[in-house]
Chains A and B, each alone.
Chain A
Amino acid sequence: MTEISFARSFLSALDGRPIKVTSDHISDPRQLPAQVSYTLPKYPHSPPKRKRSDSTSTPTNTSSASLSVNLSTMKFPTHTLKLDGQSGSTSVFDLKNAYVKRFSVPVDKIKLLYAKKPVADSKTLGEVIGSATGDVEFSVMLMGGVVPSDSAPEENVPAAKEAPVEKQSKKEDKHVSAGPSGKELETDAFWEDLKGFLVQRLKDEGEGERLAKVFRKAAS
């Protein structure tokens, strides 16, 4: 049991020293030098990695299996976009773009949530939903008081890239306020932005919403 006893004595020796770098430390990747990363050299004995031939073992759902995606937002229940015939390789950014085209909202003012968690633009549908099939529900979070500008009822659009380009006429004023400080706190837009930030940062829709309410109440 020399392994165990060494580990035990080593751990207690470590206890006596101050922590200098925490276990979740990440050096700022912006400071990394412009060069290829360091990786370990090949081991002489290592077998070359066997190629998986069957597609079933690939980790993500990249098949062309037809997925039906629903993009909806709680605040504007009529502004729902259903995208049929999506494949696992459609990116989250493609989905956002389809919504943007349909309801004329600025692309940087919306976020998509899957199972209440914000998803990154660079992910594919396959990576987000795993092995799920059939209907996929995303909720759309609108930030900065942005209002989707088409009140047409839900309709089917064949695929993200073929979504019809909507006329840019804005039936409602998508007013993003930037008033003098003080006034700012009275606008819904400000609090929506804050909520958006919190949800994204905390990766939790419920908690973000709750905190935003707490802050708003405290500020008034």
Chain B
Amino acid sequence: MSKIEKTIARQQQRIKDGDFYEAHQQLRVISARYIKQDNFDAAIDILSSGAKALLEAGQGGSGGDLCLLLLDTYGKAETTPDAQSKARLLSLVRAFPSGEVTRKRFVNEMIAWSAKHGEFPAGDPELHHVAGSLYASEDEPYEAEKHLILGTQDSPEILVKLEYDWYLEDDSHTAPLYAARAILPYLLTGNLRAANKSLLLFTSKLGQSSQNLGVQEVSSKLSDLRVYPSIPLLNFLGLLLLAVQRGSADLYRQLRSHFQVHLKDVPAWNEALNEIGQMYFGIKVPSQSNPLFDMMGSMLMGGRGGGGAAKKGGKGPGTPALGAPGVD
């Protein structure tokens, strides 16, 4: 056994014996010593195994403190996100006793570390997925949404389940409001695949639980849609997903005006729908404040010269940003 392994074993024993305070203090002191010597690997081993043992013993506060110290050490060591460094964090974040306040800070700092040292400026998708899944399993929908929108291809399933369960607690006519909480944000991150998958998953859950929706298949030569005569806004979302593929501004305007009466009831969608108009259909929004949309808009609109609105806007063909493969 190496010296570090011995140190770890000694502190684990201490934690097993219930001597949490002492173990926590010693782990801090020992890791600080290694950090001072630039022996980051040793400090990382000690902090992560110590934090894990404390968390598993239900000590969220002191375990969480070591977790934050571990991220701090990652920063000093300039550790980059890879399978090993991420697995270490994920096993810690899963080990937190539920409801521990430090966890949220740990999640946020973990994402920030991955953004700074990795290739995803908005944070590593796998880390987002795991964090979002944890919040979803604890029924924290707003926190879960934030992360699952930036997650992996497995995220829509978790998010839709959460939204659907939430919808079941609300009135039966509110289904589209909850489906939209997945679909519209995915559209605004340029993730059509996840947006489409979300609608599909949501409506199939809806179909399973209620038989008398009177759903009708409507088909044209190239497109199909399941229409719910009694749930107009669900049809709006379905038609919107088809319309964004075409990017025709006149059709988008037509869509919004046809559903005007119903859309008036959901002012919370306004900003998102305006931004979607800008991103996919080249319809200018007067006050542009969110840089995300500016950026996504230029990525989506940049490469195409064909759309009427895009031409009117005078945007020349730029570098095509479409067709970028998604990460699995």
Contact = CB atoms under 8 A, between A and B. Distances in A.
Size bracket of the B interface: 35 or more
B246 A29 contact: no
A153 interface: no
A59 B135 CA distance: 12
B83 A49 contact: no
Given A4-B216, A33-B292, A19 B246 contact: yes
Interface in B183-213: 184-185, 188-194, 196
Contacts of A52: 139
A152 B322 CA distance: 52
Contacts of A41: 268, 271
B227 A4 contact: yes
Contacts of B296: 27, 32
Contact of A47 (B169, B191, B251): B169
Interface in A2-58: 3-4, 6-8, 10-15, 17-43, 45-47, 49-52, 58
A39 B192 contact: no
A63 interface: no
Given A41-B268, A58-B137, A20 B307 contact: yes
29 contacts: A3-B227, A3-B235, A7-B218, A8-B218, A11-B218, A11-B239, A14-B220, A14-B242, A14-B251, A21-B322, A23-B193, A25-B192, A25-B193, A26-B191, A27-B321, A28-B326, A29-B150, A29-B326, A31-B295, A40-B145, A40-B185, A45-B170, A49-B162, A50-B169, A51-B139, A59-B137, A60-B137, A122-B129, A122-B130
B172 to A, nearest CB: 13
B169 A40 contact: no
B23 interface: no
A27 B291 CA distance: 16
B294 to A, nearest CB: 9
A3 B87 CA distance: 49
Given A49-B141, A94-B91, A31 B321 contact: yes
Contacts of A35: 122, 291-292
A29 B127 CA distance: 13
B84 interface: yes
Nearest to A3: B229
Contact of B245 (A19, A26, A89): A19
B150 A32 contact: yes
Contacts of B90: 91, 122
B35 interface: no
| Top 7 A-B pairs, shortest CB-CB distance | A27-B190, A26-B326, A93-B87, A28-B324, A11-B220, A34-B121, A32-B122
A60 B169 CA distance: 21
Interface in B125-172: 125-126, 129-130, 133, 137-142, 145-147, 149-150, 152, 158, 161-162, 165-166, 169-170
B126 A122 contact: yes
B321 A25 contact: no
B218 A27 contact: no
A21 B69 CA distance: 44
Contacts of B32: none
A176 interface: no
A14 to B, nearest CB: 6
B225 interface: yes
A151 B94 CA distance: 35
Contact of B145 (A19, A32, A39): A39
B223 A15 contact: yes
A165 B158 CA distance: 37
B63 interface: no
Contact of B232 (A3, A14, A30, A93): A3
Given A20-B306, A59-B161, A34 B115 contact: yes
Contact of A26 (B119, B193, B290): B193
Contacts of B222: 11, 14-15
